[in-house]
Chains A and B, each alone.
Chain A
Amino acid sequence: MTLQEAQPITALLDPETVQSIADEIWPTLVGDGEAFVPVPVAPPAEVVSAWVTITGPWNGAVVLTCAPATAGALAESVLMTRPPTVVDDEDVADALGELANVLGGNIKSVLPGPSSLGLPQIGSAPATGRLDDVCRVNGQWRGQSLTITVQGATEALHPSGTEVPQ
């Protein structure tokens, strides 16, 4: 099946499903009583993203985007650190990547298969392609902007050698 023949993500997934997956992940991974709230707030000036690719009948990525400070707070919450312990940059990237990884794994499970999940990547979010191949939930965590985007692949999304076959 070619990319052109594949159904866009909007035909396969709705924001409510993404939210329900986030509802399961936040209390177990981020911490008791924590929630991803699907109410948008002003986007931060500077952002960082973590994402995993999905390769199969639908090709694309699941991207988690927030301010660097929010990523740091997420890592502290995931790791349950208490002062004076501080998380380093590696922990922040690791924690944000794992959140994207678990989101991606659960979203993959509701998409047509068989498909495979790539390893988490961190940086500037990949460019989005067709408008109808994007499912985005703009929300917040502890009042800070957080966005989950499930977006179809563009050519730049799949650098060679990043996927691990399953």
Chain B
Amino acid sequence: MKILVTDDSRVMRQIVIRTLRQAGYDDHDIVEAVDGRDAFEKVGSEKPDLVLSDWNMPEMSGIECLEALRAAGSQVAFGFVTSEGSPEMREKAANAGALFLIAKPFNEDTFKDALDGVIA
């Protein structure tokens, strides 16, 4: 399985990748994107099975990326990893087609709860 980790913070991408490993998802291919636009393009070029994306990013936000992907016909599995998890954002994410929203701070248990069933 290939996972596309999207965050404008290199530090946070490293933390997400580390947490994936700690949660036991250590035998998957990881690719990275630096913002929503980069993620949109890499869904086309890298063909990931899952996108883990920050919400608030320059160029194109995570929710704009998800909406653009669905508008373009992509049904790639998509989940948010973001610094806020208000009910409004969770509803907006779900309505746009996201499978889950992980709020920061998170740990490996948070990842397992969200990803079990999504990652084979």
State the A residues within 8 Å of B (CB): 24-25, 28-29, 75, 78-80, 90-91, 94-95, 97-98, 101-102, 104-106, 108-109, 113-114, 117, 119-120, 164-166
Report whether B57 and A164 are in contact in the complex, using a CB–CB cutoff of 8 Å.
Answer: yes
B18 within 8 A of A: yes
**Per-residue A-contact encoding for B89-110, CB less than 8 Å = 1, 0 else:** 1001000000000011111000
B6 within 8 A of A: no
Nearest Cβ in chain A — how far from B22, in angstroms?
11
Q: Which residue of B lies closest to A101 (CB)?
A: B83
B25 within 8 A of A: no
Report whether A105 and B18 are in contact in the complex, using a CB–CB cutoff of 8 Å.
Answer: no
Tell me which residues across on chain B come within 8 A of A106, comparing CB atoms.
Answer: 83-84, 103
Nearest Cβ in chain A — how far from B34, in angstroms?
12
Other-chain residue from B56, B58, B103 in contact with A166 (beta carbon distance below 8 A): B56
- Interchain CA distance A164-B85 in the complex, whole Å: 16
10 shortest interchain CB distances as A-B pairs: A105-B83, A105-B84, A28-B105, A94-B11, A102-B104, A102-B83, A95-B11, A25-B105, A101-B83, A29-B105
B55 within 8 A of A: yes
Besides the contacts A94-B10, A106-B103, A166-B55, what 5 more A-B pairs have beta carbons closer than 8 Å?
A105-B83, A106-B84, A117-B83, A117-B84, A166-B56
Tell me which residues across on chain A come within 8 A of B89, comparing CB atoms.
Answer: 166
Q: Please, could you name 8 A-B residue pairs with CB atoms under 8 Å apart, sorted by A?
A: A24-B105, A28-B107, A95-B11, A105-B85, A108-B84, A166-B55, A166-B56, A166-B89
Tell me which residues across on chain B come within 8 A of A24, comparing CB atoms.
Answer: 105
Given contacts A29-B105, A80-B18, A105-B103, contact A166 B85 (CB under 8 A): no
Tell me which residues across on chain B come within 8 A of A95, comparing CB atoms.
Answer: 11
Tell me which residues across on chain B come within 8 A of A108, comparing CB atoms.
Answer: 84, 86
Q: Which residue of A lies closest to B60 (CB)?
A: A164
